[in-house]
Structure 1
Amino acid sequence: MVIRYCILFALLLSAEGVYAQQANTGSGADAQTNLNSLAAGSAAVLPRGESYGMVGSPYVDNRWLPARLHMTNKVPLAPVPLKYDVLNRRLLMLPVNRPNDSLQLNDRLVAGFDLEEPAGIAGPARQRTFRRFSEAPSPELRSDFVEVIHEGNYVLLKRYEKVLKKANYQGAYSSGERSDIVEDKTTYYLRRPDATVVPVKLTMKALQAAAPELAGNLKAASGASAAKSDKEWAAVLAVVDKK
């Protein structure tokens, strides 16, 4: 069995260090020094279950994607390879000098991050922006990261949630399932101009009800009648909803 490791680390920036580094440009040696100062620690074994593997993924994207972290203290950081582990509510970083280790970020000072998705079969290269769900209708969701699908007078947000169903293949009442299963539970939210936030489905009828000022423009917009994915609706909203 291959044992995977992660480095558990804490933010070590002192108040003096934070203010001293705010003038840095965010690139080159100074930025890497800032990044290194975020972390220190020792290896810890990641827990593994007794199942025969896992179906599904705990991550927003299984790939290590280049990312730029946005810090609440405005300290500039060099871009890093990042994964958002939704199931365990954590950010993982791949250190350049330790490609076999994953670093678990203490994200207390992380306000958000941008993932750089390369061009591929699904489409051209694009930047995906994530930020805290500070306006969430439920207080317990406000520390979550959500993806910004569209931002204008209305803001369309995508909240990822993963649910783990453990393998159940032993005992008289087992289901025979020999693998852990990670299920996706995605919810979209629309923030309206009056700052209210409501869950919404990506359908013409639901978006017209949630955004009444855009109802007519949505109906007339090119491609709206066939739009299904968040990318397609983002393109529609970019046309009909202007700041």
Structure 2
Amino acid sequence: MNFRHFALLGLLFTTGLAHAQQDAAAQTNLNALAAGAPAVVPRGTADGFKGSPYADARWLPAQITLTNNLPLAPVPLKYDVLEHRLLMRAPARPTDSLQLDDTRVVRFVLNEPATALGPARQRVFRRFAEAPTANHKQDYVEVLHQGRYTLLKHYLKTLKKANYQGAYNTDSHYDEIEDKTVYYLLTPEAQLVPLKLALKPLQGAALALAAALKASADAKKPKTDADWAAVLDAADPATVK
């Protein structure tokens, strides 16, 4: 075996060791974010809850970014909008939901698998730094599109308590979680415009894109968030850095 082979083996060993150390550090950093105690989550059962507290009720693999950019191992994640918290499922405790200490979390990316309704995609969530009210600045918003304009989805949930006074009200024995989602378009001038996700409101908020939005919407016939994101992607492509 010549020197070149020895050098190659040494490089492979060093690279493998570095990756193993990085993986171990990532898992250690992730474990440090877990509060440890299982989180109590509502379930849609009789005399329980109607609706979901989550942005997405599925456990989806996620990459988390911290303020200090420390590596974190991928983890199954849920965003509990109602309680303003991130929940994880650790491999060692697959039946428990653990609450993350997310004070240093700036963003997370959910990896959504392909389904019959669409291809696999990554869904980016970040802090709502531009929120019109201070109490929402620590919320997470989903970034549906980012180019010159940014389309944001702010998930809001409210809890409507059961009303036991109406004897003939069949829904009286349920607490109901209601969706209050708001969409915003962030303009190049840093103006945050609340809007309904439809063609005319988008054109009104982004006059420079009005013609391109119509052409894209006519071609794609958008119905879902992903459809509207594709419309904006076509009308307002991301700037190449």
Is the CA contact 2:34–2:99 (under 8 Å) kept in the aligned structure 1?
no
Task: Specify the alignment match of 1:102 in structure 2.
Answer: 97
Q: Paired residue for 2:55?
A: 60
Which protein has the larger Cα radius of gyration, Structure 1 or Structure 2? 2
Provide the rounded CA distance (Å) in 2 between the counterparts of 1:126 and 1:119: 7
1:226 matched to 2:231? The reply is: no
Give the structure 2 partner of residue 193 of structure 1. Answer: 188
Question: Equivalent of 1:210, from 205, 219, 223?
Answer: 205
Moved more, 153-162 or 38-47: 38-47
Distance 1:183 1:45 in 2: 19
> 36-45 vs 86-95, which deviates more?
36-45
Aligned to 2:26: 31
1:220 counterpart SS class: helix
How far apart are the structure 2 equivalents of 1:44 and 1:146?
22
Task: Report if aligned partners of 1:204, 1:225 keep a CA contact under 8 Å in 2.
Answer: no
TM (normalized to structure 1)? Answer: 0.81
1:19 is aligned to: none
Shift of 1:100: 1.7
Q: CA deviation at 1:194?
A: 0.4
Q: What are the superposed Cα offsets for residues 155-178 of structure 1, whole Å, 9 maximum, x if unpaired? A: 000001111111112x46884511
- Residue type of the alignment partner of 1:106: D
Q: What corresponds to 2:152 in structure 1?
A: 157
How far has the Cα of 1:220 moved from its partner?
A: 2.3
Offset at 1:74?
0.9
Q: Aligned runs of 1:112-191 on 2, under 5 Å?
A: 112-169=107-164, 171=165, 175-176=169-170, 177-191=172-186
CA gap 1:212/1:87 in 2 versus in 1, 3 angstroms: same
Mapped partners of 2:89, 2:76: distance in 1: 5
- Is 1:236 the equivalent of 2:231? yes
Amino acid across the alignment from 1:128 = R
Inter-CA distance 178–194: structure 2 relative to 1 (3 Å threshold): same
What residue in structure 2 maps to residue 83 of structure 1?
78
Does the 8 A contact of 1:150 with 1:156 survive in 2?
A: yes
Distance, in Å, in 1 between the alignment partners of 2:39 and 2:195 is 40
Unaligned 5+ runs, structure 1 = 1-22
* Larger fraction in helix: 2
Partner deviation per Cα, 1:169-218 (whole Å, 9 max, x = no partner): 2x468845111111111110000000111101111110110001001111
| 1:46-83 residue CA offsets vs partner (Å, 9 max, x unmatched) | 689xx712111111111111111110111110000111
SS of 1:223's partner is: helix
Corresponding residue of 1:8: none
Q: Tell me how many residue pairs correspond in the alignment.
A: 220
Please provide the CA RMSD for this pair.
2.7
SS at match of 1:99: coil
**Within 1, Cα distance between the matches of 2:35 and 2:197?**
43
2:230 alignment partner, SS class: helix
